[in-house]
């Protein structure tokens, strides 16, 4: 049985005061909901604050991206060890905003993935097609190419390590991210099933265990229907993760 997972992606939002208010509300609101896993991925400057507040709660925290190098002259970059040093257990990789706005590629996602698992961070690898690709019927081609770019670089040992860390895939159709448009539960299910089958080509046991979360305008009002689909194991939530009541309701739907 896969446990559902809900990940809040705060993006570039928050400050010390609003984080304190939001995290305190989440701690109280989720305390009694132990049947799913919850994570918040906060901006790097607030990881220390997040760790201080969330330590010994049932909410984990993570980074929104990471560099592939261990250390060195990489101005502005953050290493996997820096994230684990601040207690992170998860990291989002290959988010469409990183791909589109910061020109990250499948190749760099693969390098970050590799560096993350070597540092004991659970990668949440985002895949998903743009609206033009969707309309052209290319969803599976795009998702497969984004997955394969990472999976093909993993040795059998690396793959086993990624499974040991419970690697996560996030299907995030770009046309649904931050747009208020959500994939229907049936659309999400179809692609999640495709992702699982693709993992099964490498390792059937892993495919049955791996969690595939959906992202793209997940809200309290649509979460339960999405999470009810057999291959949807929770959500990656942007906008709605900044509103305590909304996020708690989404987490309860996963619980
Ligand atoms: P959204 O963002 O929920 O605001 O659509 C999702 C994401 O970017 O992970």
Closest CA to 49 of 21, 28, 29, 12: 21
Q: Percent of the chain having pLDDT more than 70?
A: 100
pLDDT exceeds cutoff 90 at 1: no
Confidence of residue 224 (pLDDT cuts 50, 70, 90): very high
Give dist(CA 127, CA 145) in Å, integer. Answer: 9
The model's pLDDT over 96-117, given as tens digits with 9 standing for 90+, comes to: 999 999 999 999 999 999 999 9
pLDDT exceeds cutoff 90 at 8: yes
The model's pLDDT over 28-76, given as tens digits with 9 standing for 90+, comes to: 999 999 999 999 999 999 999 999 999 999 999 999 999 999 999 999 9
pLDDT exceeds cutoff 90 at 91: yes
Q: What residue owns the CA closest to ligand 1's atom 3?
A: 238
| Ligand 1 atom index nearest CA of 96 | 8
Give dist(CA 10, CA 213) in Å, integer. Answer: 16
Q: What residue owns the CA closest to ligand 1's atom 6?
A: 238
Q: What are the structural domain ranges in the chain? A: 5-254
Classify 119 as helix, strand or coil.
Answer: coil
Question: Distance between alpha carbon 222 and the CA centroid of its chain, in Å?
Answer: 18
Residues known to be catalytic: 95, 172
Q: Is the pTM of this model over 0.95?
A: yes
Q: The domain at 5-254 falls in which architecture?
A: Alpha-Beta Barrel (3.20)
Q: What is the mean pLDDT of residues 148-175?
A: 96
Q: Is 166 exposed, middle or buried (0-12, 13-18, 19+ CB in 10 A)?
A: middle
125: Cβ contacts below 8 Å, ≥ 6 apart: 93, 94, 109, 113, 146, 147, 150, 167, 168, 169, 170
Mutating to test ligand 1, I would choose from 179, 236, 246 the residue with most ligand atoms within 8 A of its C-beta, which is 236
Question: Distance between alpha carbon 145 and the CA centroid of its chain, in Å?
Answer: 18
């Amino acid at each position: 049985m896969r446990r559902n997972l809900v990940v809040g992606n705060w993006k570039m939002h928050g400050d010390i005061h609003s984080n304190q208010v939001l995290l305190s509300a989440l701690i109280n609101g989720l305390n009694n909901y132990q049947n799913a896993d919850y994570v918040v991925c906060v901006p790097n400057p607030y990881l220390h604050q997040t760790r201080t507040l969330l330590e010994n709660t049932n909410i984990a925290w993570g980074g929104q991206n990471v560099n592939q190098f261990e250390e060195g002259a990489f101005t502005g970059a953050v290493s996997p060890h820096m994230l684990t040093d601040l207690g992170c257990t998860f990291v989002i990789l290959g988010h469409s905003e990183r791909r589109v706005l910061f020109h990250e590629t499948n190749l760099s996602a693969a390098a970050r993935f590799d560096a993350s698992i070597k540092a004991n961070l659970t990668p949440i690898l985002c895949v998903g097609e743009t609206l033009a690709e969707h309309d052209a019927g290319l969803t599976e081609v795009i998702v497969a190419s984004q997955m394969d770019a990472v999976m093909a670089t993993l040795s059998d040992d690396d793959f086993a390590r990624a499974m040991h860390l419970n690697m996560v895939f996030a299907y995030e159709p770009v046309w649904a991210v931050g747009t208020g448009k959500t994939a229907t539960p049936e659309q999400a299910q179809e692609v999640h099933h495709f992702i699982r089958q693709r993992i099964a080509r490498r390792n059937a046991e892993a495919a049955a265990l791996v969690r595939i979360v959906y992202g793209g305008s997940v809200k309290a009002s649509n979460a339960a229907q999405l999470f009810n689909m057999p291959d949807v194991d929770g959500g990656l939530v942007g906008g709605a993760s900044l509103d305590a009541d909304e996020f708690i309701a989404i987490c309860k739907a996963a619980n």
